[in-house]
Amino acid sequence: MERPIIGITMGDPAGIGAEIIIKALGHESIYEISRPLVVGCKGVMKDALCFIPSNLDLYIIENPAKVKGQFGSIDLLDLANIELSDFKYGQVSAAAGKASMEYIFKAIDLAMERKIDAVVTGPIHKEAINAAGFAYSGHTEIFAEKTRTKNYAMMISDKDMRVIHVTTHVSLRRACDLVKKERVLEVIRLAHQAMKALGIKNPRIGVAGLNPHAGEGGLFGDEEIKEIIPAVTLANNEGIHAEGPVPPDTLFSKVKGKQYDIAVVMYHDQGHIPMKFKGFEYDRVKNMWLTMSGVNTTIGLPIIRTSVDHGVAFGKAGEGRANEESMVEAIEMAVQFAKSKK
């Protein structure tokens, strides 16, 4: 098949987005499987090319159909919406937040118009986008609203380790209230759909409990009895291979051991902590992250969206020290989903 066009949003200009994109596009393997198109700003990209440093060239285009997709040249859709004098690396800026949102909106429009095959998002800063007047808690909610999607979920993956969330960016107290049978069932269905799209013929899904020991038969809470078990039963009745509730303190070891292809988790940190423990390695002596792997994918959208599984890293922005591993993996995952739709 023809290499899919992967739109990559630059993220917050004050963060590491431009840097990790340039480093990722320094991998020739990315061009063997895709035609990357950066949606961002020429000035910020040029500055990142200098401080990395990199000998890659920028090729400015106005139409995605003109993407060259040639290694050594970065295809850039330049929105020209921010100057270097408008922000400082590593600092929250309403101007940078506004620019980052404009990259996202443009990429969504292109994907909905089928001018690109998938969107990969660079990291944004929630405080910055809210300072710019955009009341969103993250990318997932932005994409859901702009594509008018009601049933969606966040999936985090690192090779064969995968989790998908029933709730995400809400307080822990609120998350407990949102664990309802209908939502748990919907996320089990989305997990099944995602695994099929990745080529797994008979997905095995492990469903986490909400409470310690998965409630211990009601001793530590009754959400498992009232909401989670009925959802698993209904999923099984639909022909989906789901098991649970599994005590959260053993579920991820079972996913790691391949008993399950994916874990359905009940709240944000229940899924993010084991994934980042697996994919992130920090060296105190070198004062740097040695590895930062993992991909964030929004499941249920009418378009494909993947993302790095880390933030803007203001502490190292503009210094050329950022790790591109997660960006490379996000592009590869987007290609995999794009191929499944062909």
pLDDT digit string, tens, across residues 304-326: 999 998 899 999 999 999 999 99
Cα separation of 258 and 254, whole Å? 6
pLDDT-derived band of residue 148, with 50, 70 and 90 as boundaries?
very high
Q: How many CB atoms lie within 10 A of CB 63?
A: 8
Contact by Cβ (8 Å): 5, 119: no
pLDDT at residue 142, as a whole number: 94
Q: What is the pTM assigned to this prediction? A: 0.90
Report yes or no on 288 lying in a domain.
Answer: no
Please write the tens of the pLDDT for every residue from 4-18. Answer: 999 999 999 999 999
Same domain flag for 144 and 160: no
| Full residue range of the structural domain in which residue 73 is found | 5-149+301-341
Is pLDDT at 287 greater than 90 in this prediction?
A: no
Query: With 90 as the cut, is the pLDDT of residue 119 above it?
Result: yes
Residue 290 has pLDDT above 80, yes or no: no
Looking at the fold, whether 164 and 145 belong to one and the same domain comes out as no
Number of domains within the chain? 2
- Sequence-separated (6 or more) residues with CB below 8 Å from residue 63: none
Kindly report the average pLDDT of the chain as a whole number.
94
Cα angle: 128, vertex 120, 51; to 5 degrees: 65
pLDDT in the model for residue 254: 96
Are 192 and 139 in a shared domain? Answer: no
**Ordered strands of the 153-158 beta sheet:** 57-61, 73-78, 35-40, 5-9, 118-121, 305-308, 295-299, 153-158, 161-165, 262-265, 204-208, 241-246
Does residue 287 lie in a domain region?
Answer: no
Q: Specify if 285 maps to a domain.
A: no
Q: What distance in Å separates the CA atoms of residue 178 and residue 223, rounded to the nearest whole number?
A: 10
Instruction: Decide if pLDDT at 161 tops 80.
Output: yes
Based on the fold, state whether residues 143 and 160 are members of the same structural domain: no
- Distance, in Å, from the CA atom of 216 to the CA atom of 143, rounded to the nearest integer, reads 37
170-204 pLDDT per residue, tens: 999 999 999 999 999 999 999 999 999 999 999 99
∠ CA 2-122-187 to the nearest 5 degrees?
Answer: 80
CA–CA separation, 134 and 316 (whole Å): 25
- Quote the tokens at residue 251: 């579920």
- Per-residue pLDDT reduced to its tens digit, 36-56: 999 999 999 999 999 999 999
Verify that 179 and 241 share a domain, yes or no. yes
Residue 294 lies in a domain: no
Check which CATH number belongs to the domain holding 323 and give it. 3.40.718.10
Helix axes 139-146, 94-112, angle to 10 degrees: 40
Q: Which residues pair with 295 in a beta bridge?
A: 157, 308
Rounded alpha-carbon distances, angstroms, from residue 279 to 41, 216, 293:
30, 31, 5
Same domain, 136 and 160: no
List, in sequence order, every residue forming a beta bridge with 282; answer none if it has no partner. Answer: 289
In this structure, are 62 and 103 located in the same domain? yes
Name residue 13's beta-bridge partners. none
291 bridge partner residues: 281
Question: What pLDDT, in 10s, does the model give residues 255-286?
Answer: 999 999 999 999 999 999 999 898 888 888 87
Query: In terms of domains, do 56 and 97 share one?
Result: yes
Residue 193 lies in a domain: yes
Q: Are residues 177 and 247 in the same domain?
A: yes
Res. 123: pLDDT tops 70? yes
Last residue of a domain, one of 260, 275, 290: 275
Residue 136 and residue 208 share a domain: no
In a domain, 189, yes or no: yes
Does 164 fall in a domain? yes
The pLDDT, as a whole number, for residue 342 is: 67
Residues 75 and 136 in one domain: yes
Task: Based on the fold, state whether residues 17 and 144 are members of the same structural domain.
Answer: yes
Assess if residue 203 is contained within a domain. Answer: yes
Q: What is the pLDDT of residue 292?
A: 73
